[in-house]
Amino acid sequence: MSGRSFIRVLVAKPGLDGHDRGAKIVARALRDAGMEVIYTGLRQTPEQIVEAALQEDVDVVALSCLSGAHNYSFPRVVELLRQQGGADILVLGGGVIPEEDIPALKQSGVKEIFTPGTTIQAIVEFIRAHAIQR
């Protein structure tokens, strides 16, 4: 563990989806819970997200997608992180994601998927339990 006492999180919106209410609420709540949060804004490619994650030296990448493109973008982020030396970064996903897609997403390396109705508290606790501080 490094000397940093807080967890650093990148909240990212992959793809063309403009629904950012959830991403912004999560970002703000994680900040209120004492984490350091960077929000990418809309329309990020997996390449841009991974570049930002490595540059910002984050412990967690939290992806939000409500457009149905999660099966493409989430695994792609994990894959690029592994290729570029970010294999230990915790990757989480959230949004309108059908239950039946979740096993394959987890298999690809997304640690957890949070669907509608999830409490902020549950997300905070999950990150605290699973993030490896760099």
Runs of H (alpha helix) within the chain: 21-32, 46-55, 70-83, 102-107, 120-130
Instruction: Using alpha carbons, list the distances in angstroms from residue 48 to 10, 31, 42, 52, 119.
Output: 12, 22, 11, 6, 28
Is residue 114 a contact residue for another protein (CB under 8 A)?
Answer: no
| Residues 19-58, interacting with another protein (CB under 8 A) | 19-21, 24-25, 27-29, 31, 37, 39-43, 45
Q: Which two tokens stand for residue 47?
A: 């390449």
Asked if 72 touches another protein (CB under 8 A), the answer is: yes
C-alpha distances in angstroms, 25 versus 59, 72, 83, 88, 123? 19, 24, 30, 25, 12
106 contributes a contact to another protein by CB under 8 A: no
Among 3, 107, 117, 129, binds another protein (CB under 8 A): 117
- Residues, the chain, total? 134
Cβ proximity to another protein, 24 vs 88, nearer residue: 24
Q: Which is nearer to another protein, 29 or 54 (CB)?
A: 29
CB-nearer residue toward another protein: 32 or 88: 32
Figure out which of the listed residues 115, 125, 128, 132 binds another protein, where binding follows CB under 8 A.
115
Closest CA to 94 of 6, 7, 27, 16: 27
All residues at 6 or more sequence positions from 80 whose CB lies less than 8 Å from its CB, including other chains = 46, 47, 50
The binder of another protein chosen from 36, 71, 82, 111 (CB under 8 A): 71
Where along the sequence are the contacts to another protein (CB under 8 A)? 15-21, 24-25, 27-29, 31, 37, 39-43, 45, 67-69, 71-73, 96, 98-100, 115-117, 119-121
